[in-house]
Copies of this chain bind each other. A is one copy, B any other.
Amino acid sequence: MITSRDVARLAGVSQPTVSRALRDDPKVSEATKKRVRDAAVALGYSTSPIGRALAVGRSTRVGLVVTDLENQFYGHVIAPMHRELERLGYELVLITESSESGPVTEHVMGHGLCGVVLATTTVDSLLPARLRDRGVPFVYFNRTAQSVRADSVTVDPEAGIRELLREVIGSGHRRIGAIFGPRNTSTGEQRENTVRSVLDEHGLTLAHRDVLHGPFDFATGFEGARTLLDREDPPTLVLCGNDVVALGALNSAAEMGVAVPAQVSIVGFDDLPTSGWALIRLSTVAYDLDEMSREAARLIVARVEQPDAQPRHTVYPSRYVARATTGSPRT
């Protein structure tokens, strides 16, 4: 292994000078810097992140905590977040939060992370409190939990849901069903509450038996749609907690031979690329997920570099995108 000492020897300087020269410290003259840089490339040296992390007292690695890596939603989170972190000189390491028990926390802590992005926290998670106690900075992504204050980046579903409901109610839907996300996530709860309150303004309510809950995944939508559509008198419109759930519902309907939107309309939330496919054309609520993911990266880096700054909360607007899975209700 090539160390800064080897470079120092070749350049005829001391090891600390190598460290300073390569980090562009003004205390080193240009001439020396050049000699050091040349020696470094000659030896193919690159500074050890391990040694550096130990000396500096923190690493440049931020953890992204997710539950379900297979979920295509996260692909669209990971990619931009990774790019932004890389641009800022940090790395992304993935962490799956399989359960909320102690070992998980230990595992999160044991990674030597300088910061964490929580993308799948439930409102009752203990992780935020533990991170705070350990002094590990973190950012809520697409979720929040009031219990512990921290930076957050979220989407405000109201505009999108309002527009969506105005439109579908305008086209005649009255009997509305829903497959919402888990009740113990802020995202699921917020979307559900927004739907309920806007429906209320229209003088409508969700029948208790037309409302299902489940994880934000394909199976939830697939099985949920089967449950709702198997009824004698199914809802004419099914609102889904997110696009992945809606895709499950859509495919379930297709498998059952239920025509969309002729027999039932289906709506999602997220506007994933897949939702725009010619074969899918899912009506959904859109927001800038790419930008949101980058913002989360920026926030956690800012927090790491300045731990005592005021918490920042970035909120992104949403809008309704009408496509081919919504139409007039069957008569």
Contacts and interface: CB of A to CB of B under 8 A. Distances in A.
Given A69-B75, A82-B69, A254-B279, A49 B274 contact: no
Interface stretch (A8-16, A92-100, A205-213): A92-100
Interface in A90-111: 91-94, 96, 106, 109-111
A111 B91 contact: yes
Contacts of A70: 75-76, 79, 273
A108 to B, nearest CB: 10
Interface stretch (A50-58, A142-150, A163-171): A50-58
A70 B47 CA distance: 30
Copies of the polypeptide in the assembly: 2
Contact of A274 (B250, B274, B278): B274
Contacts of A74: 75
Nearest to A73: B75
A87 B174 CA distance: 50
Nearest to A72: B72
Interface of A: 1, 44, 46-51, 53-54, 57, 59, 61, 69-72, 74-76, 78-79, 82-83, 86, 91-94, 96, 106, 109-112, 133-134, 218, 247, 250-252, 254-255, 273-274, 277-280
Contacts of A106: 46
A121 to B, nearest CB: 19
Q: Which 10 interchain pairs have the tightest Cβ spacing? A: A69-B79, A254-B278, A255-B278, A49-B112, A251-B278, A46-B110, A70-B79, A50-B53, A251-B277, A75-B75
A274 B74 CA distance: 15
A312 B69 CA distance: 28
A211 to B, nearest CB: 24
B96 A86 contact: yes
A3 B274 CA distance: 48
A90 to B, nearest CB: 11
Nearest to A272: B72
Given A70-B76, A250-B279, 7 more contacts: A46-B106, A47-B110, A75-B75, A86-B96, A93-B93, A274-B274, A279-B280
Residue from A49, A50, A74, A251 whose CB has the most chain B CB atoms within 10 Å: A50
B92 A93 contact: yes
B279 A110 contact: no
A96 B75 contact: no
A57 B51 CA distance: 10
A54 B53 CA distance: 10
A59 B69 contact: no
Contacts of A49: 110-112
A218 B200 CA distance: 42
Contacts of A250: 279
A88 B117 CA distance: 24
A139 to B, nearest CB: 18
A21 B278 CA distance: 60
A277 B219 CA distance: 12
A258 B218 CA distance: 28
A47 B247 CA distance: 43
